[in-house]
Chain A
Amino acid sequence: MKRVTAVERVQRILTILPWIVDNQGCHVDEVCERFGISRDDLITDLDLVFVHVGLHPFTPDVLSDISIEDDRINVHLGDYFHRPLRLTSVEALVLLTAGKARARYSTGDDAGRETLTSAVDKLSTALGAEANDTFDVQLGAADDEMLDTFRRAVEERHSVLIGYYTYGRDELSERLVDPHRLTSQGGFWYLSAFCHKAGALREFRVDRIYSAAPTESTFEAPTNTDGPAWNLNERLHTVEIVGDSSVKWVSEMYPCDEVQELADGRLRIVLPVTATRWLERLLLRLAPSTTVIDIDTGEDLRPVAVEAARRILGRYDTAQR
């Protein structure tokens, strides 16, 4: 049996509920037949609305009331449904931004795109003629065609062959991936996908994907795509950094095992490192007085930075040009 996603379920409720409101006292069987759902699903959906739909402070006037007697359904939505929604300017702007973002990055054959664009235009008009031109929404640098490729792959569940630049190892590779989710975070697009090369879930930054070719191969819908896909268990080193306040950004930017302020005011940071190139970049940005060791072996890791600096300086050696 096809598993219904949360989005599909909300869409179903938003379709059925207004019809029931307009047809008070309708029969359960009539609703099931009209919308092609089972009795159990209908009752479960109505229970969800009854229990969870309302506004603070959750007094009776702002809660939805649903009653089913002799298989006849009556719905009373909260009183706030009886007057036009009055958004504050901030709420309207947030809604407009979200709408523009969704419309901007939905695929061309998205059934709801036209409706959404129309709603965004109406909202924009309500806010003032210039509102739509005042700002644009950019969720991250990425090729639109590539985003569409991944979005379709997520929806249609087909695998994609990608070329990827692995920043941490500073290397290029080709991988067959099963795209699960496309998200924007912190100004970048990320693709969560099962990587056949790694044999595990991985997170790919889309602006580091240099090629994407859809394949005929399909995959089963993932049961769980939540949670980070970074694999910090494949550690090359567990690194201890001790330095002055200038190293604080490390603890703010990267996942750390420990962050501790020492008695002398210096910071001690312990973090996992999974690739040498990543460690090189980190070390070259730390003040020379910072101590960096492999916490398991006691090895001084500063020579890693020295080797990286030699390679970079090699580019500036006139004898090599």
Chain B
Amino acid sequence: MVDHPDLSVVETSPNGSVVVELSVKNPSGLWHFMVNLLDRAEILEPPEMRAGLIEYLTSQTGVPAASADGSDSSSNTDSPSNSDTSDGEIR
């Protein structure tokens, strides 16, 4: 993933997970990019993109997003190293 020409790695943690930044012109493209990574990656910020992906998955499948938080921007500052299962996160 980190070889993608539009991505830049901004953090690398000891467990190998990375935080990357990329510019987004088309949100739909980002949703498709993210679902290809399944649950190995997560959008950290901005909050509207985080909320947008939750909305996309909810509308795609009907899974309720009751417990998913798309608006709490404070969670965006979490270090990826807090999770041993993290492989990559998008900022």
Mark A residues whose CB is within 8 Å of B: 141-142, 170, 207, 277, 280-281, 284-285, 288, 302, 305-306, 308-319, 321
Contacts and interface: CB of A to CB of B under 8 A. Distances in A.
B65 interface: yes
Given A141-B4, A312-B35, 6 more contacts: A141-B5, A281-B38, A312-B39, A313-B63, A318-B67, A318-B75
B54 A280 contact: no
B48 interface: no
Nearest to B57: A309
B35 A285 contact: yes
A141 B38 contact: no
B68 A313 contact: yes
Interface string B54-87: 1001111111010111101001001000100000
Contact of B38 (A142, A308, A317): A308
Interface of B: 3-5, 32, 34-36, 38-40, 42, 50, 53-54, 57-63, 65, 67-70, 72, 75, 78, 82
Contacts of B68: 313, 316-317
Contacts of B39: 308, 311-312, 314-315
Nearest to A303: B61
Contacts of A280: 38
Which of A288, A309, A311 lies at the interface centre, i.e. has the most chain B CB atoms within 10 A of its CB?
A309
Tell me if B's interface is mostly helix, strand, loop or mixed: helix
A306 B54 contact: no
From B58, B59, B60, residue with most partner A Cβ within 10 Å: B60
Nearest to A305: B61
Given A284-B57, A317-B69, A310 B38 contact: no
Contacts of B82: 321
Contacts of B32: 285
Nearest to B68: A316
Nearest to B82: A321
